[in-house]
Chain A
Amino acid sequence: DTEVTQTPKHLVMGMTNKKSLKCEQHMGHRAMYWYKQKAKKPPELMFVYSYEKLSINESVPSRFSPECPNSSLLNLHLHALQPEDSALYLCASSQEKSGALGNQPQHFGDGTRLSIL
């Protein structure tokens, strides 16, 4: 079992639906991440939060809206998605030391497998 919990594990939605993915960690990490992973491809960074503030947005379309309500929770709100958005969405967290992101290893959840009809 991972220490980063993602819900739901699977999600099927239509292109007009609104849904949210949730991620929770209790390791005291202050950096949290969303990645998208297509089949047989590596994870691709979408967003990074540091101390509950958005630090990095990798030019992700606005139909994906992240939110970090507190240091343990990370949400990804979905609206008007396209079929090509079907993928595994991974949440990760890491410590943050010396004010520099990325110098500590990330710990991943098992992801939400999203299918857009």
Chain B
Amino acid sequence: QKEVEQDPGPLSVPEGAIVSLNCTYSNSAFQYFMWYRQYSRKGPELLMYTYSSGNKEDGRFTAQVDKSSKYISLFIRDSQPSDSATYLCAMGNKFYFGSGTKLNVKP
């Protein structure tokens, strides 16, 4: 079993949809969680950082962590074509990344 599981997609949604991206992890030692967005031929861009269970909101983005279930989510509201990218979850204190989910938002 991989330490971090993330559905690779691709995930295709219409503009304006709510997008839900998810990762599960197996190691309870993971305490810090990040979401990154990576456009083609660019480096990962930090979107959200959290270390406690619960929700954290930043604009159209909400990160959710459930440590009891070892499950993290990123929600994108009012998705835009510019959100089309690969989204990576990351486990901070062990430097592990999920495999990434490719998102396509259609105009």
Which residues of B lie under 8 Å from residue A4 when comparing CB positions? 43
Choose among A45, A107, A109, A110 the residue that contacts B46 (Cβ–Cβ < 8 A).
Answer: A107
A105 within 8 A of B: yes
Question: Known interface pairs A100-B93, A103-B92. Does A42 touch B100 (Cβ–Cβ under 8 Å)?
Answer: yes
Number of B residues, CB within 8 Å of A: 22
A54 within 8 A of B: no
| Residues of A in contact with B, size category | 20 to 34
A4, B88: Cα distance in complex, Å: 19
A92, B97: Cα distance in complex, Å: 14
Q: Quick check: A102 and B100 within 8 Å, CB to CB?
A: no
Choose among B36, B45, B49, B95 the residue that contacts A45 (Cβ–Cβ < 8 A).
Answer: B95
Q: Quick check: B92 and A104 within 8 Å, CB to CB?
A: yes
A39, B90: Cα distance in complex, Å: 18
12 A-B residue pairs with CB within 8 Å: A2-B45, A6-B43, A42-B98, A43-B88, A56-B95, A90-B44, A103-B32, A103-B93, A104-B92, A105-B46, A106-B34, A111-B42
Give 17 new A-B contacts, CB below 8 A, not counting A33-B95, A110-B43: A4-B43, A41-B99, A43-B97, A44-B97, A90-B43, A92-B43, A100-B93, A101-B93, A102-B93, A103-B31, A105-B92, A106-B34, A106-B90, A108-B36, A108-B43, A108-B44, A111-B42
